Amino acid sequence: MTENNQKTELKRSVKQRKKREIKWDKLDNTAHIFPVIAGESMSNVYRISVTLHEEVQQELLQEALERVLPWFEVFSVRIRYGVFWYYFETNQKPAPQVKKEYRYPCQFISPNRNRNYLFRVNYYRNRINLEVFHVLTDGMGGITFLRELTYQYLRLAHPKLQKQLGDGLCSDTSLNREDSYLKNYRKSHRKGYKTERAFQVTGEKLPPMELGVMHGYMSVSELKKACNRYDASINEYLVSCFLWSIYQECLHGAPGKRPISSCVPVNLRPYFDSITMKNFFVIVSAVFHPTKESYDFSEVVQIVSQSLRSQINREHLENLFAYNVSNEKNFMLRAVPLFLKNLAIRHVYRTSALANTTTVTNIGNIKVRKEYQDYIKCFSSFLSMSEGQNIKGTICSYQDTLVFTISSSLADTSVQRGVFRRLAEDGVVVQIETNGVYGE
């Protein structure tokens, strides 16, 4: 055996020893809710995808996953049920099996299947899909894992990349597992979230387990020109398009008794200097209450922008998660058995879930190392449905291509069409792609 082979075998044996070590870890503050409310009808699973310029080879993607997974302890776990809390435990089973996509996306990931892992990887033609149970991490954590999985896959598919770049993780990839909610907690007793009931988008549902997905591909530079006309950010503008479409298509431009409100998740890492791989976000709400006879689109953009800007500041964001952390740290609540906690969590969730019409989340602009850029066409992402929210939007961009994806459990597509029609009216050329559920 050559010296290089001996070193390789030594590295493998070290990894295997590490794999056999059983560790346990707490759920982060936000993660506590997900195992309580998740099930077949509300999976709390999101998908992030990367589209390559070449067909995906299943065996190489499986090998890439097996190589990358041991590095990421956040993903290498199973969930357990304690007396007082859920907790994570090292998963000693082999990596989950990579499969060609064969069913509708974002279905429930059972803790007792999928080799007990809480994520899945599949592919379709030239697209790699990562589906994650939100208990593990948020979109930023998912992007970090998918990016390294893609790098490893491309190195296997193109040995010249491996020769050029080696076979380790990128130097800027974080493996940090701190609970940044607890680390940045400052005592507060104010409840940050409102529970006023919002307008709900309803209608004929798609068959059970089906999820309709509609991607809108557009140029970032074109989109910025439209945003500039309204003095709005991309996030503010696209959230406005979504609420405007609901106002036009569901309320037909008439006044409404309830506000049209969108959850807007905010990544907290830049505000608190965090690099955690765990969940670290809060929800703010963009609220538009149509109380007068008619509004034009520019008015809605102004209302939405002011609503978001008033909330997205460090003091308010800190207050939002401080209330939740204070409940977790309360000694009396900590001593309550898990089954009673679950009853309380479900009640609170159902009360607060109806306070928003929809969710629009912005994953942001995804950057990759320049050596891999020519192999990657675009990224996209979307969310599963939740209580009271039958339609959601996700924003994701790479280089000059932004993908605004709308996922829905409703058969009607008028809201989606209204969003993309609004974009077209502002001069943004949109290319539409669906997953075939709508028969288009």
pLDDT tens digits along 334-378: 677 887 888 888 888 887 888 999 999 999 999 999 999 999 999
Q: According to the model, what pLDDT value does residue 281 have?
A: 97
Question: In the beta sheet, which residues pair with residue 393?
Answer: 360, 406
Does residue 1 carry a pLDDT above 60?
no
**Helix axes of 414-425 and 234-249: crossing angle, nearest 10 degrees:** 130
Question: In the beta sheet, which residues pair with residue 25?
Answer: 88
Report the length, in residues, of the chain.
440
pLDDT, tens digit, 9 for 90 and up, residues 57-67: 999 999 999 99
**Helix axes of 234-249 and 297-309: crossing angle, nearest 10 degrees:** 130
* Nearest-angstrom CA–CA distance, 29 and 327: 10
Mean pLDDT taken over the chain: 91
pLDDT confidence band for 14 (50 / 70 / 90): very low
SS3 state of residue 55:
coil
pLDDT, tens digit, 9 for 90 and up, residues 175-215: 999 999 999 998 765 665 666 899 999 999 999 999 999 99
pLDDT (average), residues 128-137: 98
* Nearest-angstrom CA–CA distance, 387 and 351: 10
Q: DSSP secondary-structure letter at 77? A: E
Q: According to the model, what pLDDT value does residue 6 have?
A: 40
> What is the layout of strands, in order, in the sheet containing 77-81?
24-26, 86-90, 77-81
Does residue 99 carry a pLDDT above 50?
yes
- With a CB cutoff of 8 Å and minimum separation 6, the contacts of 228 are none
Q: According to the model, what pLDDT value does residue 61 have?
A: 98
Q: According to the model, what pLDDT value does residue 13 have?
A: 39
pLDDT, tens digit, 9 for 90 and up, residues 223-270: 999 999 999 999 999 999 999 999 999 999 999 999 999 999 999 999
Q: According to the model, what pLDDT value does residue 331 have?
A: 59
Q: What is the separation of C-alpha 152 from the centre of its chain, rounded to a whole number of angstroms?
A: 22
Q: According to the model, what pLDDT value does residue 3 have?
A: 43
* Nearest-angstrom CA–CA distance, 30 and 321: 9
Q: According to the model, what pLDDT value does residue 350 have?
A: 82
pLDDT (average), residues 394-399: 98
Does residue 421 carry a pLDDT above 50?
yes
* Nearest-angstrom CA–CA distance, 437 and 212: 5
**Helix axes of 58-68 and 139-157: crossing angle, nearest 10 degrees:** 120
- With a CB cutoff of 8 Å and minimum separation 6, the contacts of 253 are 247, 294, 295
* Nearest-angstrom CA–CA distance, 191 and 261: 19
Does residue 10 carry a pLDDT above 80?
no
Q: What is the separation of C-alpha 324 from the centre of its chain, rounded to a whole number of angstroms?
A: 20
The token duo for 335 is 């001593």
* Nearest-angstrom CA–CA distance, 372 and 353: 40
Does residue 122 carry a pLDDT above 70?
yes
Q: What percent of the chain has pLDDT over 70?
A: 92
Q: According to the model, what pLDDT value does residue 343 have?
A: 86
Helix ranges (H only) for 250-380 are: 269-272, 297-309, 314-329, 331-334, 338-353
* Nearest-angstrom CA–CA distance, 135 and 137: 6
